[in-house]
């Protein structure tokens, strides 16, 4: 296909040569006959993914495109992939505009009769009325040059106007401020190299491993790596030998690593050692500061890292030029984490739907997840001034938040009920401060991009801690829900309480400010567009109880691995029954205390609690019991 169809680029989808073929099959116009029409419904991936750029910029610009209809929000039975309908004639473009139906809101639920679906009906009813701006679609006549460049953004409801405004106001693109974007390593065989952080001590691999960050571990200004990787490089990224412990660890997979092909070559053929990572980028590792982001996620998550970790492809990092200060990183961090950035990214990144079979049908816009690639990110327009102060405050808060998590508490000592309770309060309070600070950041950013002239940030000293559900856009949302215009999923999913009136406990200054924000949401269409759940931070943190349970469990299991439980006085390994173990455990007051905490009872029944704790950890004594039918 690459030879036959000029539009094929990179790893393309078959829809690309198909589209070229479709237009090619239609008749050319001559003096006696008009050019043939062609119409197709096709996957919309070419609109934003890189492989579509040739198709859009070199092929479609030479065809007489007449209509582009975004059907990604409509429900099409058996077809979860987001789609677009293109209609045109096989001839040179005519001067007139292109009719476009832009999506505003997706189908809220699976319609009984797909032909009567809300979005589909809206498209059918309004495709001939340019200027229509409804709840489901916007219909406009676009000037041809709007569709001449990749990527296409076919979001209605004023999105294209806002996007244009952002581009107009921007001072420079992100690519001018940074050195590069990408992963820091790619092992080529994660199963061989990765192991849980908690087990590196047991295997004596501390000197040979570094934490490795995956995409899902980059959230809300924090990195929470659960794994580390065997890492045969020093702090400068130069190759080093592995210790005996690490050699032993990798030995069982040596043959696999030696024969594995990357770029159609073995490691030896590429001049690498068998235990080298397939792709490792020393320069990115050497320079400690970086901004990591989540590659696939529902919202934008950027986190400052201060070094000593590696990042795989699902958590790429932004590297600033050599010698850039922490302030420069924090300023970028601030703007990239704003709701405005989320808006821009979603307009320009590929929408992967909401998972499920073939992409599924998203009941809410904020549930769809996107793929944020480095290439797209480089075009991100930066405003002239950056929100350094709020960026660094959020980063500092996130660090204290991490320090008060249950996991941090058990790191150096025995967890106690009072300490846990204290930490829960602290962390709740810090979260409240982060939520309110993110609001300040978002509203500051609106002004930095010139979307409003008003300064709607708070200048008093008494910034309240916000609960989820108390942000301005959530009040608007709650009011809409109250009158039945929107579904309450946002609050249900995040476990927050919707409120329709401003809380009395806020200072009058802050209440006035939020009221002014509400007024602006009402009066300014651009702000109204940005102050929506799909662009605002979700703060979807793991519930405290769950974190606590997991942490206590880990602490107990680590403690129970102590040598004294499993070896007799002569140093011979010994098998123990639960009751024998319970007998020994009872003599350790700390252990019993934590067991009671984990069990949630005051007078803990040690045998029962240990049984519950250890059943999943033990290997049944009969082989026949080790495998169950479903396993």
Partner DNA sequence: GATCCGTTCCGGATGAGGTA
Partner DNA sequence: TACCTCATCCGGAACGGATC
> Is the CB of 438 or the CB of 526 nearer to DNA?
438
| Interior angle at CA 311, CA 305 and CA 312, nearest 5 | 155
Rg (CA), the chain: 28
What's the min distance (Å) between Cβ of 450 and DNA?
Answer: 30
8 Å CB contact between 454 and 590: no
Q: Could you tell me which of 98, 20, 395, 101 has the C-alpha nearest to residue 221?
A: 395
> Is the CB of 297 or the CB of 520 nearer to DNA?
297
8 Å CB contact between 564 and 574: no
- Continuous segment of H or E residues that includes residue 25: helix 15-25
8 Å CB contact between 233 and 282: yes
Q: Could you tell me which of 95, 96, 64, 100 has the C-alpha nearest to residue 85?
A: 100
> Is the CB of 36 or the CB of 182 nearer to DNA?
182
Residues 6+ away with beta carbon under 8 Å from 347: 153, 155, 159, 163
What's the min distance (Å) between Cβ of 334 and DNA?
Answer: 22
How far apart (Å, rounded) are the C-alpha atoms in residues 2 and 85?
24
How would you label 141-177 residue by residue, b for 16+ Cβ within 10 Å and e otherwise?
ebeeebbeebbbbbbbbbbbebbeebeeebeeebbeb
What's the min distance (Å) between Cβ of 253 and DNA?
Answer: 12
> Is the CB of 187 or the CB of 393 nearer to DNA?
187
> Is the CB of 307 or the CB of 355 nearer to DNA?
355
Beta bridge partners of 101: 69, 139
What's the min distance (Å) between Cβ of 187 and DNA?
Answer: 8
What's the min distance (Å) between Cβ of 287 and DNA?
Answer: 13
Which pair of structure tokens corresponds to residue 554?
């880990």
What's the min distance (Å) between Cβ of 571 and DNA?
Answer: 35
- Contacting positions for DNA (CB under 7 A): 2, 8-13, 45, 49-51, 180-183, 186, 188-191, 214-217, 260-264, 279, 281, 294-298, 312-315, 350, 352, 354-357, 360, 367, 369, 371, 373-375, 540, 628-630
Residues 6+ away with beta carbon under 8 Å from 99: 66, 67, 68, 127, 130, 139, 140, 141, 142
What's the min distance (Å) between Cβ of 213 and DNA?
Answer: 9
8 Å CB contact between 480 and 474: no
> Is the CB of 10 or the CB of 201 nearer to DNA?
10
> Is the CB of 204 or the CB of 493 nearer to DNA?
493
> Is the CB of 1 or the CB of 37 nearer to DNA?
1
What's the min distance (Å) between Cβ of 35 and DNA?
Answer: 29
What's the min distance (Å) between Cβ of 377 and DNA?
Answer: 9
> Is the CB of 161 or the CB of 196 nearer to DNA?
196
- Helix, strand, coil percentages (3-state) for the chain, rounded to 5, are 40, 15, 45
């Amino acid at each position: 296909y690459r030879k036959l169809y000029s539009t094929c680029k990179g790893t393309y989808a078959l829809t690309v040569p198909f589209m070229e073929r479709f237009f090619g099959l239609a008749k050319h116009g001559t003096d006696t006959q008009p050019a043939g029409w062609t119409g197709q419904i096709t996957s919309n991936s070419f609109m934003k993914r890189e492989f579509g750029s040739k198709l859009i910029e070199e092929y479609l610009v030479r065809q007489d495109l007449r209509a582009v209809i975004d059907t990604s929000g409509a429900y099409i039975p058996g077809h979860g992939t987001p789609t677009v309908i293109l209609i045109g004639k096989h001839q040179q473009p005519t001067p007139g505009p292109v009719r476009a139906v832009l999506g505003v809101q997706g189908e809220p639920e699976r319609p009984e009769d797909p032909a009567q679906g809300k979005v589909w009906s809206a498209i059918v009813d309004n495709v001939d009325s340019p200027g229509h701006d409804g709840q489901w679609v916007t219909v406009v006549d676009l000037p041809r040059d709007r569709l001449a460049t990749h990527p296409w953004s076919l979001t209605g409801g004023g999105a294209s106007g806002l996007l244009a405004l952002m581009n107009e106001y921007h001072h420079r693109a992100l690519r001018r401020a940074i050195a590069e974007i990408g992963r820091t390593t790619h092992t080529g065989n994660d199963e061989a190299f990765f192991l849980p952080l908690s087990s590196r001590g047991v295997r004596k691999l501390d000197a040979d491993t570094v934490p490795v960050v995956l995409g899902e571990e980059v959230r809300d200004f924090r990195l929470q790596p659960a794994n580390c990787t065997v890492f045969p490089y020093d702090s400068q990224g130069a190759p080093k030998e592995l210790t005996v412990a690490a050699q032993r660890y990798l030995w069982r997979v040596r043959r696999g690593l030696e024969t594995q092909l990357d770029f159609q070559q073995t490691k030896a053929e590429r001049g690498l050692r068998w235990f080298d990572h397939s792709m490792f980028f020393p320069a990115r590792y050497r320079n400690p500061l970086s901004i990591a982001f989540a590659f696939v996620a529902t919202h934008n998550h950027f986190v400052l890292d201060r070094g000593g970790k590696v990042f795989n492809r699902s958590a790429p990092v932004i590297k600033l030029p050599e010698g850039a200060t922490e302030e420069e990183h924090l300023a970028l961090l601030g703007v990239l984490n704003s709701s405005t950035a989320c808006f821009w990214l979603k307009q320009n990144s590929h929408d992967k739907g909401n998972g499920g079979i073939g992409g599924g049908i998203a009941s809410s816009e904020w549930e769809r997840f996107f793929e944020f690639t480095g290439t797209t990110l480089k075009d991100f327009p930066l405003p002239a001034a950056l929100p350094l102060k709020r960026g660094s405050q959020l980063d500092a808060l996130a660090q204290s938040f991490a320090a008060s998590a249950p996991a941090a508490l058990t790191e150096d000592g025995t967890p106690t009920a009072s300490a846990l309770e204290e930490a829960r309060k602290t962390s709740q309070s810090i979260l409240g401060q982060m939520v309110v600070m993110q609001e300040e950041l978002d509203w500051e950013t609106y002004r930095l991009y010139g979307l409003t002239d008003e300064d709607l940030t708070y200048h008093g000293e008494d910034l309240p801690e916000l609960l989820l559900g108390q942000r301005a856009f959530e009040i608007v949302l709650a009011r809409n829900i109250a009158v039945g215009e929107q579904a309450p999923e946002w609050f249900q999913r995040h476990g927050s309480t919707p409120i329709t009136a401003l809380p009395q406990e806020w200072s009058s200054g802050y209440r006035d400010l939020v009221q002014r924000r509400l007024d602006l949401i009402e009066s300014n269409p651009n702000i109204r567009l940005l102050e929506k759940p799909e662009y605002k931070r979700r703060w979807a943190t793991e519930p405290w109880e769950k974190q606590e349970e997991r942490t206590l469990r880990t602490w107990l299991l680590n403690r129970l691995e102590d040598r004294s439980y499993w070896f007799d006085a002569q140093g011979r390994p010994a098998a123990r029954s639960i009751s024998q173990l319970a007998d020994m455990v009872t003599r350790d007051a700390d252990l019993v205390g934590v067991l009671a905490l984990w069990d949630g009872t005051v007078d803990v029944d040690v045998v029962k609690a240990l049984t519950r704790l250890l059943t999943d950890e033990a290997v049944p004594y009969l082989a026949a019991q080790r495998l169950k039918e479903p396993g």
